[in-house]
Structure 1
Amino acid sequence: MVGERDPALTTLKDEENYKDSSEFAAEDRKVEYPSQSRSCRIIFLVVSATIVTILLAFLASSWTKSSHLKFDQCGTTADEARNRGCIFETTGFTWLVPECADPETEAEFLAYIAENDLKLYRTMNYTEEVSIEEVRRGNGDGFYVREKYHLTHCLFLMKKRHRMEDKKGLLDGQIMPLHHTEHCMGQVLQAGADPEFRKHDRQFSYTKFPYCGRPGGYNLEWPARKTWIDF
């Protein structure tokens, strides 16, 4: 579902030097312009500051909106989620409050996996298929999938993120953190470079209960399942 790696920032000092005109002939006067590496560092700092400002503004806006929700999270079980009026999305295998659900992307995802025969399985040896109707009930821990299903899920969640941002909607706590996008990028890039990538791996798509409007939730990370995560 990765720790932050922020580059160390160093203080930039102007080191331009000018020769004294009283000691040297005018034709020998030399002005040292800022080096290309220094200019690149300045540009990097400006761009980084701009990106951080935009992200903080979006997060602040999301948290403000989420403060008006009756519930900002669906609990830890399917029954508890239903009692809170939550919706199960197969796109992310997540129980979500309605304000964080995206029916349009969910419908597109379901149509795509049906058209491309992407299956879900009850057992890790991929012998017993599960109907999409059962999957959509959101019961139990989850189901087994192949890598192509995993990649498809990743791409549709990236689309959902953009769609929700475009309409000023709330993001769920699974797709809000940058590390989820980095994870999906890594999967897609490696699969593109190696057709055999994770071809024989057994993969389990497990049920998650993210917050709405802020990062984190319950059961979001594979190494730390059945725990709460607050970023």
Structure 2
Amino acid sequence: MLGAIYRDDGKSGGMLPLRQTDPDLDFETLSPYPDLPAQRHGVAARFRLGLTYVIKCVVLCLIVWFAVTLMIRSRGSQSTTKTVDCSCGDTLQEARSRGCIFDALSTSWLPPRCIDESVSTKFDLSGPEPDGTWPYFTSTNGSQKIHASELWRHTYDSDDGYWTTNRWHISHCLYFWLRQYRELKRGVITWDESHDGEAHIPHCLEIITMVASGLEPIDAIRTHAWQNPSKKHDHHM
């Protein structure tokens, strides 16, 4: 069983807006010179910008602290925890014959014993879609959606996999760490080879940092997920 997710780094051009907003006056002022910066930058706008930056820094520091703590605890508990094999084979038929089911949080087919149903259910219903699910697509242009219940069709025998957003990617990291923390607390580690490696933590921190710093749009379709035995687990930034 092999699975992975990665993010495609796309670039897009844009034009400067003709319409500029004055936060102090609560109305939009038209600028005949769009190449020039706005003349009025209210105190309230600067305060909100600074507060947003501070909040992002605090959240990022907390995430880094949690990730490092999880990694240290994982190393220290290896001798006292029970490891459960989560292999489901190399084909869809083999996965089903072993009683495996597809877990969107792990982007993998897993035995029920390797799925934290509580965490996975919360993740599945924490998306921005009207029914609470996450948006999935057949390509980066987002023209054709895939419902969450149909993701399993894009695994194993499909080389294309599916695409989703940076927002999904960040939530995946946070909920996956929650799952790992709960496993450490129980003393039973499920070995999901696609994400349980230590490399998954800095990978997650990288995407979180890029979005928090504004280098990546949070709703850009950059994340590619697949489970195909012909490929090795990898991440591309």
Normalising by structure 2, report the TM-score.
Answer: 0.57
Q: Radius of gyration: which is bigger? A: 1
Q: Match of 2:206?
A: 186
| Residue 185 of structure 2 is aligned to residue 166 of structure 1 | yes
| Residue 145 of structure 2 is aligned to residue 129 of structure 1 | yes
Letter matched to residue 205 of structure 1: A
**For residues 91-131 of structure 1, what are the alpha-carbon distances to aligned partners after superposition, in whole Å with 9 as ceiling and x for unaligned?**
12011223221111110011102466631011332100011
CA contact (8 A) 2:116 2:179 kept: yes
**Could you list the runs of 5+ residues in structure 2 that have no partner in the other structure?**
5-70
* Separation of aligned partners in 1, 2:121 and 2:208: 22
Q: Match of 1:19?
A: none
CA contact (8 A) 2:203 2:235 kept: no
Q: Match of 2:61?
A: none
CA contact (8 A) 1:95 1:138 kept: no
CA contact (8 A) 1:94 1:208 kept: no
Deviation for aligned residue 1:167: 2.1
Counting aligned pairs with the same residue, the percent is: 21
* Separation of aligned partners in 2, 1:61 and 1:98: 23
Q: Match of 1:93?
A: 107
Taking a change above 3 Å as real, the CA distance of residues 101 and 200 of structure 1, as seen in their structure-2 partners, is: closer
Secondary structure of the 1:60 match is: coil
* Separation of aligned partners in 2, 1:199 and 1:65: 36
Secondary structure of the 1:204 match is: strand
**For residues 132-177 of structure 1, what are the alpha-carbon distances to aligned partners after superposition, in whole Å with 9 as ceiling and x for unaligned?**
1101566434211121121121111111111222222223223322
Q: Match of 1:108?
A: 122
| Residue 167 of structure 2 is aligned to residue 148 of structure 1 | yes
Taking a change above 3 Å as real, the CA distance of residues 135 and 75 of structure 1, as seen in their structure-2 partners, is: same
Report which of the two has the higher share of strand. Answer: 2
* Separation of aligned partners in 2, 1:56 and 1:129: 40
Secondary structure of the 1:177 match is: coil
Pairs within 5 Å for 1:1-231 = 55-62=74-81, 65-66=83-84, 72-113=86-127, 114=129, 118-136=134-152, 139=155, 140-141=158-159, 142-171=161-190, 172-194=192-214, 196-197=216-217, 202-207=222-227, 219-222=232-235
Taking a change above 3 Å as real, the CA distance of residues 127 and 100 of structure 1, as seen in their structure-2 partners, is: same
Taking a change above 3 Å as real, the CA distance of residues 150 and 208 of structure 1, as seen in their structure-2 partners, is: farther
Taking a change above 3 Å as real, the CA distance of residues 106 and 125 of structure 1, as seen in their structure-2 partners, is: same
CA contact (8 A) 1:207 1:219 kept: no
Letter matched to residue 177 of structure 1: G
* Separation of aligned partners in 2, 1:73 and 1:92: 13
Taking a change above 3 Å as real, the CA distance of residues 179 and 109 of structure 1, as seen in their structure-2 partners, is: same
**Could you list the runs of 5+ residues in structure 1 that have no partner in the other structure?**
2-50, 210-217, 224-231
* Separation of aligned partners in 2, 1:103 and 1:132: 16
The CA RMSD over aligned residues, in Å, is 2.9
